[in-house]
């Protein structure tokens, strides 16, 4: 467990830092919130006080954290008058934190950090802290693109400050992007990666993850789809990346923002997903098919919008190709056992038995069975309850957050990778 200073500055994304705070706590870390004056106009300090169960630092001139820590650790009475020892408070916190995370981080604060201006608690803390610094910039895209901001970002990067990309397209080489604050889950993952760099056999390996539904077009505006949100696949991609893997994420159409990936391939239909996955799989160590791929597609989709009539409509659907089964038959796998294949079996009852049969039929290494009839598992919810089925046994996991389920699945993948490395011929 570490103490993390969560700096919140005055950006429209400030509300998202409440979720960042929760995510850090869920991973066992303690958080002290440090808010700038303008941040307090977007979110009330009381919100952070309630969830961190600590005083929130909103000013350089009020006793807060330092007094409380001393009282807790050394039994000192809390210093009564305002301002007492407040001037050295940032030094005390600076010594205790394992990470200074600022999310959202405005152009103004980036500028102050780069220039070494210390005119409030957060900017003083930045100068006093020796802990790693992680910033999640958020601002208007023109501001982000401005030379002044770019220069400041480069200055900070050269000092070892790390960043969580805002939105998509924020490139290390060019620093360009939309400027929207990254998703809380990505910010938490980046913080965790700094706090506990994992020593995983996945480091440097290529992992392909599919996520979300596929949409099979009936005509120019209508389609056949399913309820997959992409959350489980996104959690797997984020966790694989946290373990150091190079991740190709093949995502069907979903409303959720995908996590950062080395290669994000957007697809729409089962056929497009088949092509994208097949392409990536030839260079992959692991392929995880978390997507809910359509089993059927309209046989003759219209390119225009089909007008309705009073007569009933019969839609003829043709089978799609089974991506997982095709990968299971890859000739190279017979010799090397690679890539490791993971499939999902979404069932409404008797999930484990059906998944066992699918695992054998599709020739995959691990089948993850989930009962989507449960209200707390499967589609459109944050949690999942799965059984992981492999040649070496079955592991039934209790209902838990999808990022925890992702970690458990990747633990099993790591076991298989270690076994393959020890004996390259397929078990």
Q: Which residues are designated catalytic?
A: 173
Q: How far is the CB of 232 from ligand CTP (least distance, A)?
A: 10
Distance CA 173, CA 170 (A): 9
Q: Contact between 289 and ligand CTP (CB under 6 A)?
A: yes
Residues contacting ligand CTP: total by CB under 6 A? 14
Can you read off the two tokens belonging to residue 351?
């999930």
Distance CA 136, CA 142 (A): 17
Residue 33: closest CA among 59, 62, 57, 50: 57
What pairs with residue 3 in β-bridges? 30
Question: Contact with ligand CTP (CB under 6 A): which of 6, 86, 323, 389?
Answer: 323
Distance CA 126, CA 165 (A): 20
Q: Name which of 5 and 208 has its Cβ closer to ligand CTP.
A: 208
| Strand residues in 169-277 grouped as ranges (E) | 206-211, 216-217, 223-224, 246-251, 263-266
Question: Contact with ligand CTP (CB under 6 A): which of 134, 153, 346, 388?
Answer: 346
Q: Contact between 232 and ligand CTP (CB under 6 A)?
A: no
In the block, which residue shows the tokens 């004056």?
37
Q: Contact between 344 and ligand CTP (CB under 6 A)?
A: yes
Q: Name which of 18 and 232 has its Cβ closer to ligand CTP.
A: 232
Q: Contact between 295 and ligand CTP (CB under 6 A)?
A: yes
Q: Contact between 291 and ligand CTP (CB under 6 A)?
A: yes
Q: Name which of 187 and 284 has its Cβ closer to ligand CTP.
A: 284
Q: Contact between 357 and ligand CTP (CB under 6 A)?
A: no
177 and 167 Cβ atoms separated by less than 8 Å: yes
Interface segment toward ligand CTP; rule CB under 6 A; list 25-33, 66-74, 166-174, 317-325 = 317-325
Q: Contact between 412 and ligand CTP (CB under 6 A)?
A: no
Q: How far is the CB of 388 from ligand CTP (least distance, A)?
A: 13
Distance CA 153, CA 110 (A): 7
Cα 123 to Cα 64, 113, 117: the distances in Å are 17, 6, 7
Q: Name which of 96 and 269 has its Cβ closer to ligand CTP.
A: 269
Distance CA 209, CA 289 (A): 6
What pairs with residue 292 in β-bridges? 213
Distance CA 295, CA 302 (A): 19
Residues ≥6 apart with Cβ < 8 Å to 205: 245, 246, 285, 286, 417
DSSP designation for 393: E
Question: Contact with ligand CTP (CB under 6 A): which of 270, 286, 287, 369?
Answer: 270
Q: Name which of 224 and 270 has its Cβ closer to ligand CTP.
A: 270
Q: Contact between 233 and ligand CTP (CB under 6 A)?
A: no
Interface segment toward ligand CTP; rule CB under 6 A; list 55-63, 150-158, 195-203, 343-351 = 343-351
Q: Name which of 91 and 397 has its Cβ closer to ligand CTP.
A: 397
Question: Contact with ligand CTP (CB under 6 A): which of 89, 322, 365, 371?
Answer: 322
Q: Which residues bind ligand CTP (CB under 6 A)?
A: 270, 289, 291, 293, 295, 320, 322-324, 343-346, 358
């Amino acid at each position: 467990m570490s103490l993390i200073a969560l700096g919140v500055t005055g950006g429209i994304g400030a509300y998202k830092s409440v979720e960042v705070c929760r995510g850090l706590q869920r991973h066992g870390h303690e958080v002290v919130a440090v808010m700038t004056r303008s941040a307090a106009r977007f979110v009330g300090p009381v919100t952070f006080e309630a969830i961190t169960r600590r005083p929130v630092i909103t000013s350089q001139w009020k006793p807060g954290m330092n007094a409380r820590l001393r009282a807790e650790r050394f039994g000192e009475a809390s210093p009564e008058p305002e301002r007492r020892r407040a001037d050295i408070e940032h030094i005390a916190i600076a010594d205790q934190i394992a990470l200074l995370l600022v999310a959202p981080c405005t152009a103004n604060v980036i500028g102050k950090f780069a220039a070494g201006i210390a005119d409030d608690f957060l900017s003083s803390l930045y100068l006093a802290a020796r802990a790693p610094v992680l910033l999640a910039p958020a601002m208007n895209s023109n501001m982000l693109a401005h030379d002044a901001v770019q220069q400041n970002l480069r200055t900070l990067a050269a000092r070892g400050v790390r960043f969580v990309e805002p939105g998509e397209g924020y490139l290390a080489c060019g620093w360009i992007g939309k400027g929207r604050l990254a998703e809380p889950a990505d910010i938490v993952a980046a913080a965790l990666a700094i706090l506990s760099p994992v020593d995983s056999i996945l480091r440097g390996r290529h992992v392909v993850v599919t996520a979300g539904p596929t949409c099979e077009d009936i005509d120019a505006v209508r389609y056949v789809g399913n309820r997959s949100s992409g959350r489980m696949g996104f959690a797997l991609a984020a966790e694989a990346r946290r373990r150091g893997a190079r991740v190709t994420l093949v995502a069907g159409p979903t409303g959720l923002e995908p996590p950062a990936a080395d290669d994000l391939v957007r697809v729409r239909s089962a056929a497009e997903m088949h092509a994208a996955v097949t392409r990536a799989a030839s260079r992959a160590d692991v392929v995880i098919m978390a997507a809910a791929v359509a089993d059927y597609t309209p046989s003759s989709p219209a390119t225009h919008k089909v007008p309705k009539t009073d007569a009933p409509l019969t839609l003829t659907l043709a089978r799609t190709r089974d991506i997982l089964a095709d990968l299971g038959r890859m000739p190279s796998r017979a010799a090397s056992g690679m890539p490791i294949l993971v499939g999902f079996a979404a069932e409404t009852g008797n999930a484990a038995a059906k998944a066992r049969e699918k695992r054998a039929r599709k020739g995959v290494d691990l089948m993850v069975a989930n009962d989507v009839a449960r209200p707390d598992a499967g589609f459109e919810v944050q949690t999942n309850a799965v059984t992981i089925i492999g040649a070496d046994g079955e592991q039934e996991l209790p209902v838990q957050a999808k990022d925890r389920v992702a970690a458990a699945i990747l633990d099993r993948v790591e076991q298989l990778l270690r076994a393959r490395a020890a004996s390259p011929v397929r078990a």
